[in-house]
Homo-oligomer: A and B are copies of this chain.
Amino acid sequence: MDIDRKILKAEKIVEIRFNEVDSMGIVWHGSYPLYFEDAREEFGKIYHLEYLYMFDKGFYSPLVEMHFNYKSPIKYTDKIRVVITYRNTEAAKIVFDYEIFDVVTGELRATGYTTQVFLDKNFELMWTKPDFYCEWEKLNGIR
């Protein structure tokens, strides 16, 4: 049962940059990976799962999948809040779900997810979770 498992979440306020907006006056769809990454960085800081930490442990964790659902356009003057949620999975993967909200109206602007795998120092794909990661999951109450 998942009942006692913690839900790991983080969030990041993002200011839209002028160059992220297209000639229609709305944020270009290809700018959203920036916002997801900002949230992922924030998650990494809070829960100590930074790129550099994983690298020190001997692993890379590249993205193998990224998905966006655009609900309503973001404008230059908007301030957005990106909520990132850790998705529990048995697989040797790191999956995050994202929601982008308008800070002022609370409106949901976009959702999406990313999937990362583990590679060892020889760039070989890990079929099971690395030890350091199992410990990280335990430490954070999700295993």
Contacts and interface: CB of A to CB of B under 8 A. Distances in A.
22 contacts: A17-B34, A17-B37, A18-B41, A19-B28, A19-B31, A21-B22, A22-B23, A23-B25, A23-B76, A29-B33, A33-B33, A62-B73, A63-B70, A64-B69, A64-B70, A64-B71, A65-B67, A65-B68, A65-B69, A66-B67, A66-B68, A66-B70
A19 B30 contact: yes
Nearest to A12: B15
* Stoichiometry, copies per complex: 4
Given A19-B37, A34-B19, A37-B19, A65 B70 contact: yes
Interface residues of A, number: 33
